[in-house]
């Protein structure tokens, strides 16, 4: 076993160039203070808060008029997809759905529908989010889709933004992408920077309703701890649309967890 630093210094006091014990103590004190200062400095740096506006997206209320049970998983899936669209803006920070789920489980709110402003403020503050978004989606027999969203400012406790968007459920991914852009502009969040040469897709491809269902089921399986099945579902998504970046990102994350 290697001797302690203090033991080495003490042992050297028997040599011709002995270091007095009082000096040893002073050295150790200085070393200890230096380490303490270093640790405190590192901790302070770690606590430096991200100054970007932070947004949390709560699970949506399922108001579908047909096949209500079929669309129930979309409560989480829609929140996941909208959060991902908002996160395309590097000027804001979006709370990860996994962190939201963990908090909701702790608060016994994972099966809740819409929350009142006071609860939204409390959850938002616990998540470190300035803006807390929730909403409702409705799909009818003719596959018409309506999404209503509202956002509460956790600093004021007031709902400061509402939005409604309509379309066909066959184009759900496109609608969510459009909704993300509307929210970003309507809430006066930092503008999304225009990257020279970047191509914004006019559409997110075919099979959008099916893809949204698979994403929703995958997120439910993640919450149940079935990461292997969740990965399989995301691979199914990529078979339908190999370029869907949300599925690529989530699958890569799941595979890292599995290692």
Per-residue burial over 33-62, b if 16 or more Cβ lie within 10 Å, else e, is eeeeeeeeeeeeeeeeeeeebbbbbbbbbb
CA 177 from centre of chain: 17
Give the chain's residues under pLDDT 50.
Answer: 1-19, 24, 27-31, 33, 35-47
pLDDT digits (tens, 9 = 90+) for 13-60: 444 444 455 554 554 444 454 544 444 444 344 435 678 999 999 999
**Would you say the C-alpha torsion 147, 176, 217, 119 has a positive or negative sign?**
negative
Q: Give the chain's domains with CATH numbers.
A: 54-193 (3.40.50.10070)
pTM, rounded to two decimals: 0.77
Token pair belonging to 112: 């809740």
pLDDT attached to residue 229: 96
Residue 88 belongs to what H/E stretch?
none
Phi then psi dihedrals of residue 150, to 5 deg: -145, 155
How far apart CA 210 and CA 143 sit, in angstroms, is 13
């Amino acid at each position: 076993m290697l001797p302690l630093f203090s033991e080495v210094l003490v042992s050297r006091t028997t040599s011709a160039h002995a270091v007095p014990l009082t000096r040893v103590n002073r050295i150790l004190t200085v070393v200890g203070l230096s380490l303490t200062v270093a640790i405190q400095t590192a901790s302070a740096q770690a606590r430096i808060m991200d100054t970007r506006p932070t947004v949390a997206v709560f699970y949506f209320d399922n108001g579908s008029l047909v096949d209500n049970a079929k669309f129930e998983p979309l409560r989480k899936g829609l929140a996941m997809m909208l959060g991902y669209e908002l996160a395309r803006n590097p000027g804001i920070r979006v709370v990860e759905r996994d962190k939201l789920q963990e908090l909701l489980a702790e608060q016994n709110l994972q099966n809740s529908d819409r929350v009142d402003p006071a609860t939204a403020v409390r959850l938002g503050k616990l998540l470190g989010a300035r803006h807390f978004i929730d909403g409702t989606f409705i799909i009818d027999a003719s596959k018409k889709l309506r999404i209503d969203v509202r956002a509460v400012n956790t600093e004021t406790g007031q709902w400061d933004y509402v939005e409604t968007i309509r379309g066909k459920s066959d184009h759900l991914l496109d609608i969510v992408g459009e909704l993300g852009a509307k929210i970003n502009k309507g809430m006066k969040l930092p503008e999304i920077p225009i990257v020279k040469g970047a191509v914004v897709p006019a559409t997110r491809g075919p099979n959008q309703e099916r893809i949204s269902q698979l994403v929703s089921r995958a997120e439910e399986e993640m919450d149940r701890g079935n990461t292997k099945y969740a990965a399989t579902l995301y691979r199914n998504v990529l078979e339908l649309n190999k370029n869907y970046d949300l599925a690529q990102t989530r699958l890569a994350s799941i595979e890292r967890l599995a290692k």
